[in-house]
Chain A
Amino acid sequence: MVSTVLPLKLDEVFVRRRGKRLIGPVTAELGPGRLTMILGPNGSGKTTLLRVMHGVERLSDGQVTWAVPQTEAQHHQAYVFQTPIMLRRTVADNLRYPLQLVGAPTAEITEKVEKWGARIGLQDRMKLQATRLSGGEKQKLALARALIRDPQVLFLDEPCASLDGASTRDIESLLTGALSAGTRIIMTTHDLGQARRLAQDVIFMLHGTIREQGAAPGVFDAPSCAELAAFLRGDIIA
């Protein structure tokens, strides 16, 4: 997949709510073809940064720009939430929904729904209400629903939080598959093991600012920021 929307540039971005600074100043540039992991303790601004990049968080200051106009870039993105949001429909209808929104032909919808249903192992439960799935199954369905439109950029907000090992492995397998297909992935996680397994780039957030950013091996092996070193050691940082 050739990316037409990247690079994504954040220039002196601030988000404030009720006088409180959530993030900022944040300046960053994300190019195509890699998996970037956003790390940081609770309240450091990871989710806000992800939402800013996705364009669903109102900026107080600064600019977020894509290689194409924002409205066009929106069509090539997908977002997976920490708590999967299931439409009150069947598994098949949840998968069908994003394709119906863009008016995809029926034959294409049927083919993709079957393909993704099988890929996430729910081919036998396509007619089941999605709200009846287990937490891991819901998250896999949410990920498949995000990937079914072949997005150029995929945002994930702690997709494996509160999932067991098997479900986490399935999610990671889907993510590496998407990465191989050329999807740019930007995700947050608390799980340092997962970060080490998947990350190609790392952004470390603390108190709403980026404290360290770089290629994963360098950041993990020789962090230049003392707080990141402490975070990687498993120390509690505030």
Chain B
Amino acid sequence: MSDIYDGLISAFWLMVTLDPELMQISLRSLQVSLTALMIASAIALPLGTFLAIRRFRYRRLTISLLNALMGLPPVVVGLIVYILLSRSGPFGVLGLLFTPTAMIIAQVVIITPLIASVTHQAMRELWAEYHDLLISLNTSQGQRIRTLIWDGRRNLLTAALAGFGRAIGEVGAIMIVGGNIENATRVLTTAIALETGKGDFALALALGFVLITLAIGINIAIHWLSRTESEGRW
């Protein structure tokens, strides 16, 4: 119990005093996860919507594959990205290994199937609700997709937030491709792993509380900005 108490006190102090190292690690965490989220959303949101309304030959197989990829073990993703980016790998010449870019790539691979799958589920339900009306109004394919994305934007936000939650809390893959290098690739999760290994539970807990605060703060901010639960909204 005293560890948790000490952790809370440490977290409070680190945040109140705007500890430079904590700030740097936290900002890097946000930078990596938000960049990965933006890239993954740009791929996954249209993909999930497309799968919801279009019928094509290997649609079911694609959806099954997407759902299966949601459970990709991050460590394996990290290992594959490591091999691809290592000096002897096909993308070794780019020199991306042990950089924040490599961490972003790994996170994109991990969260894209999750966002696409949640999007597909939400858009499929909305499409079932709207199908007859949009067909009856003689809408074009483009008009249907635009209508679904606009009217389902809050569901899409939920999908994106699910992806963000997974990205900001990810440790295995980014530890492998980032290397947890101080002042370069150290983020909150890898720092927690490091401090735990060193036996500094108070600092590890402090970093953990900061991570939770960040994750909850971002979620609340996005919900507030999009007025998801405000009066007059469904």
Q: List residues of A whose CB falls within 8 A of some B CB.
A: 54, 56, 74-75, 78-79, 81, 85, 87-90, 97-98, 101, 127-129, 131-132
Q: For residues 148 through 176 of chain B, which have their beta carbon under 8 Å from a beta carbon of chain A? A: 151-152
Q: Which of B126, B133, B232 contacts A129 (CB 8 A)?
A: B232
Q: Is the CB of B151 within 8 A of A56?
A: no
Majority secondary structure, B binding face: helix
- On whether the beta carbons of B143 and A81 are closer than 8 Å, the reply is no
Q: Which residues of A contact B129 (CB under 8 A)?
A: 85
Q: Of B136, B147, B234, which one neighbours A54 at CB under 8 angstroms?
A: B136
B-side interface residues toward A, CB under 8 Å? 126, 129-130, 132-133, 135-139, 143, 147, 151-152, 232-234
Number of A-B residue pairs, CB cutoff 8 Å, is 41
- How close is A71's CB to chain B, nearest CB, in angstroms? 8
Evaluate contact between A101 and B136: CB separation under 8 angstroms: no
Question: Contacts A88-B151, A89-B151: A132 and B135 contacting too (C-beta < 8 A)?
Answer: no
Closest to A84 in B: B133
A131 to B132, Cβ gap below 8 A? no
7 interchain pairs (CB within 8 A)? A54-B136, A75-B138, A85-B129, A87-B130, A131-B234, A132-B232, A132-B234
Closest chain A residue, CB of each to CB of B150:
A89
Q: In the bound complex, do residue B143 and residue A101 qualify as a contact, i.e. CB atoms below 8 Å apart?
A: yes
CB of B133 to closest CB in A, whole Å:
4
How many Å lie between the Cα of A87 and that of B127 in the bound state?
Answer: 11
Q: A101-B138, A132-B232, A132-B234 are in contact. List 15 more A-B contacts (CB 8 A).
A: A54-B136, A56-B132, A56-B135, A56-B136, A78-B136, A79-B136, A81-B136, A85-B129, A85-B130, A85-B132, A85-B133, A101-B137, A101-B139, A129-B232, A129-B233
Residue of A nearest to B139 (CB): A101
Q: Using Cβ atoms and an 8 Å threshold, which residues of chain B touch A131? A: 234
B137 near A98 with CB under 8 A, answer: yes
| Closest chain A residue to B133, Cβ basis | A85
CB distance from B151 to the nearest CB of A (A): 5
The answer, among A74, A87, A128, for a CB contact under 8 Å with B147, is A87
Q: Which residue of A lies closest to B129 (CB)?
A: A85
